[in-house]
Amino acid sequence: MTSRAITKQIKDILPELEEKAKYDIAERIVEVLREEIYPPESELRWDFLNSIKEARSRVKKGKAKAYKYEEFRKRFSDG
């Protein structure tokens, strides 16, 4: 095989390789973000999980509270 033929083959497959690399990078970024944003259940505290279950139960029973934006921020924000 001549160097010209090899160069042509490389040029032919290069776009596919670039797309595969971009896909792999994007997939890894999404995976890292999921790990950071959504910790595995094993890392969640049980008291937090129980409070979520209790809140769901209250909502199902129609005992949920409605907050205006500012009220919500005051009550639940860290700052």
| Domains contained in the chain, number | 2
Q: Are 77 and 55 contained in the same domain?
A: yes
Three-state DSSP at 65 gives coil
Average pLDDT estimate for 8-16: 92
Q: How far is residue 18's CA from residue 11's CA, in Å, rounded to a whole number?
A: 11
Residue of 46 and 2 predicted with greater confidence: 2
- Residues in the chain, overall count: 79
**Does 21 share its domain with 4?**
yes
Tokens of 23: 């896909």
- 25 shares its domain with 51: no
DSSP secondary structure letters along 53-69? HHHHHHHHTT------H
Residues 27 and 60 in one domain: no
Amino acid at site 39: P
At 7, list the tokens. Answer: 């160069």
Residue range(s) defining the domain that contains residue 28: 1-38
Same domain flag for 24 and 51? no
What gap in Å lies between CA 27 and CA 79, rounded to an integer? Answer: 34
Looking at residue 26, its pLDDT comes to: 94
Predicted local confidence at residue 79, as pLDDT? 56
Write out pLDDT tens, residues 16-52: 999 999 999 999 999 888 877 876 767 777 888 788 8
